[in-house]
Amino acid sequence: MLNPHPSALPSPTQARAMERNGAVDFKALEKELRAALAADEKYERENAAKFRAVAQKVPSYEDFRNIVLASHLKPLERKDKMGGKRTVPWNCHATQGKTLQEHVATEMPQEEAPFQPGTSAEFYRDWRRRLRSGPERYQALLQLGGPRLGCLFQTDVGFGLLGELLETLANHVRPADRAAVLGVLHSLAGTGRFRLNLSLLSLSERECCQALFQKLQAMGAPGARTGQEVLGGGQQGTEPEQDLLQELWVLYQLH
């Protein structure tokens, strides 16, 4: 029996909806609870690894990063050796008790659900497993938008992820997406432990961040305006974007 966890409890809106429907979806609640517990466990594990790496006085950032990224690994025990008895069959389809319908469902390719993570743990999972290419990751960030990302990572972006997000934006930003990218950067700057995560960026990640802001600055120059913007009356929305960009320069410590 799982104990209640505050981060997995339904929001007031969800609770009222369930009351109106006259039923409680316990499976959905349990799924949210498990995701929240997994995210908390990952956060605590990586946080402990950070302190352990600092205590060991690792010689370089790469060593520090490797210790944190490997925090989920456990040392082998005597029983963990080659040639031991296998408890999992090689052919999962040979497992007895499966019906024909289950075999068919397993073999049929299933359509992938849209990228709509409800928790930071779901974002981590899909970011690593589903979104393999840079363009896919870039479109996913634009699809979620700044406010949604800010809600997902309200506590902490997570070690190593901030650099990957900045690299993705820097490599694929387009003039038409300038306002959306500024919104994403603004929301990320408001997440927990942002300054700490910013200080842990590698040299290449910090260079990508610098390049991203330079591109955004160039996109806002008068000569970079599109013909549609000129015909539409000039610089509506340009000054607020420029003010936000200048604010972000300071928040990302690029001044």
Distance CA 112, CA 212 (A): 31
Q: Could you tell me the residue range of the domain that residue 41 belongs to?
A: 1-72
Tens-digit pLDDT profile for the chain (255 aa)? Answer: 444 445 445 555 555 555 555 566 777 778 888 888 888 788 888 877 787 777 777 777 777 777 777 776 666 555 555 555 555 554 554 455 555 455 444 444 455 677 889 998 899 888 988 888 999 999 999 999 999 999 999 988 877 899 999 999 999 999 999 999 999 999 999 999 999 999 999 999 999 999 999 999 999 876 555 434 433 444 444 788 999 999 999 999 986
Interhelix angle for 120-129 vs 161-172, to 10°? Answer: 60
Distance CA 142, CA 180 (A): 7
Q: What is the DSSP code string of 34-100? A: HHHHHHHHHHHHHHHHHHHHHHTT-SSHHHHHHHHHTTT-----TT--TTPPP-S-S-GGG-TT--H
- Whether 206 is in a domain gets the answer yes
Regarding whether 52 and 150 lie in a shared domain, the answer is: no
Give the residue from 232, 131, 216 showing the smallest Cα distance to 174. Answer: 216
- Whether 148 is in a domain gets the answer yes
Interhelix angle for 120-129 vs 26-55, to 10°? Answer: 80
Distance CA 204, CA 166 (A): 11
Domain boundary among 72, 104, 123: 72
Regarding whether 235 and 161 lie in a shared domain, the answer is: yes
- Whether 246 is in a domain gets the answer yes
Tokens read off for 224: 């970079």
Helix (H) or strand (E) holding 213: helix 203-219
- Whether 201 is in a domain gets the answer yes
For the chain, what is the largest distance between any 2 Cα atoms, rounded to a whole number of angstroms? 74
Do the beta carbons of residue 51 and residue 58 sit within 8 Å?
A: no
Regarding whether 147 and 228 lie in a shared domain, the answer is: yes
Q: What is the pLDDT of residue 173?
A: 96
- Whether 244 is in a domain gets the answer yes
Q: What is the pLDDT of residue 32?
A: 81
Distance CA 68, CA 53 (A): 8
Regarding whether 148 and 225 lie in a shared domain, the answer is: yes
Q: What is the pLDDT of residue 67?
A: 73
Contacts of 154 (CB under 8 A, 6+ apart): 191, 192
Tokens read off for 46: 């990586």
| E-assigned strand segments in the chain | none
